[in-house]
Structures are given as structure tokens and as C-alpha cells.
Amino acid sequence: MNLLPTATSTDIREQQPRVAVLPVGSFEQHGHYLPLVTDTAIACIIGKEIADSYPVQLLPPVTIACSHEHEAWPGTVSISARTLVAVIEDVRSSLLRSGIPKLVIVNGHGGNYVLSNVVQEANVDGPCVSLFPLSSDWQRARDDGGLVSDKHGDMHAGEIETSILLHAAPDLVREGYEDADHDGGARQFLLTRGMSAYTESGVIGYPSYATAEKGKAVLESLRLSFSAHLDALAE
């Protein structure tokens, strides 16, 4: 599956979009059956669903972000929150110079907390940036997809992430997810102690419940939810 946008400058000139969509993922462990690039792949998959249905410019993803809580596992790479903020600000400035005033950040990694502050500050003088999906968008998608697990219990490499990839990028899913369920408990000191305090496998969730059919329904729900974000941006 091609996770990168393929539009030409001619396509963008003809389309004249007013909104750009920027997938932001991570490069972090997702157990032994999902790749390090999982969050980036999911953000790109959601971005493509959006770009196929709405008049937006899909941008290539930010592939490394804030994954410090996962660094007990080999392969995980992070950048600082200040670096991620700087990247988003530079992208926004470049978009403005090219005539695109609005931006939607499609966040595929829950640990990118700083993105909420980026959006909050950007909108002081009027709505121009939105963060997608919001918690309400994810919850609606879980309900529409018929997921068994809840958001807290299915935090990482679980039912929803595995389902999305089984539907949209099955080649990225390796064997073993059916037997990898793990309950990480309350996890109130996750930011202090990291993921390794709550899981040995790197998994907190229920991938055994994952199906491609659920993944398809989740993505369709998110596609429909996106229209409210355009409304919020007055687009």
C-alpha cells in the first residue's frame, strides 16, 4: 500500500484546496506483530480516506514524534515536543505562503499530547487548525465498528489498531496477534514510569478481537466524522 500522497502540483492548482491534512504518527514498538511504523501508517490511512472524500490537500506524514514512554523497547525513536511543535509551525507557515489557510492534523499516536496545545494556540484569532480524530470521533468509531474493548483497556496495539491494519494494510500484520491480549490496569503513572511498568510485551489491549470488517467500519465512521471538523473551520 502506498502511504504517501501522489498528487502533482498541477492537481493542487486545479483543485485549489483551502484545507491541508497532515498525518502525524510515531516510530515506536507495537508488540511483536505490528510494525514500528503502525501509528504513522494508521494516520496515513485515515488521511487517505479523508482526501478521497473531501477537497483537501493530503500531505506526507510526520513519521517520528513523541514516543518517550516506549523507549524501553528496541527500535523506538522519538523527537522532543518542542521539535514537533516547530515542525507543525513550519508546515503551517509554508501552507499559508502557498495559499492554504487551514490545517487538520491527523494524529495517529496518543502520546503526541503537545498537538492539542498547538491547535489551541493556533486558533486564538479564529479557527484555522483542527485536531482529528478527537476522543469523541474515536469513541463513535468504536461504537460504529462494533468493537468489544473500550478505549482505556485497548490502549496500544490492540483491537482498534490491529483491525484498521487488517483491513487497510494486512501485509503489515504479522502472526501472533490472536494470543497477545494484555490488561495494563489503571496505569496512573504511565508518564512517570513508562509503558514497561505496565506491560512486558509492549501490548496493552485486546488484539484477539480484531477483524478486517471492524477496521473497515471504523474508517468509514471516521470519514463521516471529518465533515464536522470542516464545519468547525468554517469550510
Q: Grid coordinates standing for 129?
A: 487548525
pLDDT surpasses 70 at 27 = yes
Strand pairing partners for 107? 24
| Other CB atoms within 10 Å distance of the CB of residue 140 | 17
Let me know the angle formed at the C-alpha of 189 by 160 and 180, rounded to the nearest 5 degrees: 35
Q: pLDDT category, 3, cuts 50, 70, 90?
A: confident
The percent of residues above 70 in pLDDT, for the chain, comes to 100
pLDDT digits (tens, 9 = 90+) for 134-163: 999 999 999 999 999 999 999 999 999 999
Closest CA to 135 of 168, 157, 113, 118: 113
**Alpha-carbon gap, residue 92 to 130, rounded angstroms:** 12
The percent of residues above 90 in pLDDT, for the chain, comes to 99
- The pTM for the full model equals 0.97
